[in-house]
Amino acid sequence: MPVPYTCFGDNINPPLDIEEVPSGAQSLVLIFEDVDATPAPWTHWLLFNIPADTLTIEEATIPPGAGEGLANNNTQGYEGPCAKYFSGAHHYRFVLYALSKRLSLPPESDRRIVENNMADYILATAELFVISALEAGEPD
């Protein structure tokens, strides 16, 4: 994970390109998580109701119309990886879900609420993995 996208840098979200959204999709959900953290997975970023025609999530922004749910620290917004709390390899995963509906949820919704509300409407998923091998307190 490049330093600008961690707590050692600007702690901003990286740019992401989106391709091949299935026809019939009404919205997208993006979850960025650390699958090796405790508790696992640790949610670093949660976006829902991303417009289905979104092609790019720009650096340090959320797409217009998207809702930003709560991450594990009960904060809204992107929480970059922060190696000061662990040593060794951690696997980070961006998961994008294409849904057949928009979710009617308040912005303070957490991952559990979003996942429960989207479960019956998932048309497709895509994953991007990033691996960081760090020593506690050192940027990668």
The string of pLDDT tens digits covering residues 21-50 is: 999 999 999 999 999 887 889 999 999 999
Give the burial class of 112: count Cβ atoms within 10 A of its Cβ; 0-12 exposed, 13-18 middle, 19 or more buried: exposed
Q: State if pTM tops 0.85.
A: yes
Per-residue confidence (pLDDT) for residue 140, from 0 to 100: 46
CATH of 3-134, one of 3.30.380.10, 1.20.1740.10, 3.90.280.10, 3.40.50.800: 3.90.280.10
What are the start-end ranges of the H helices in the chain? 111-118
As to burial, measured by CB atoms within 10 angstroms (0-12 exposed, 13-18 middle, 19+ buried), residue 34 is buried
Res. 100: pLDDT tops 50: yes
Q: What is the pLDDT of residue 7?
A: 85
**Segments making up each domain of the chain, as ranges:** 3-134
d(CA 137, CA 16): 27
For residue 135, what pLDDT is reported?
52
Mean pLDDT of the chain: 90
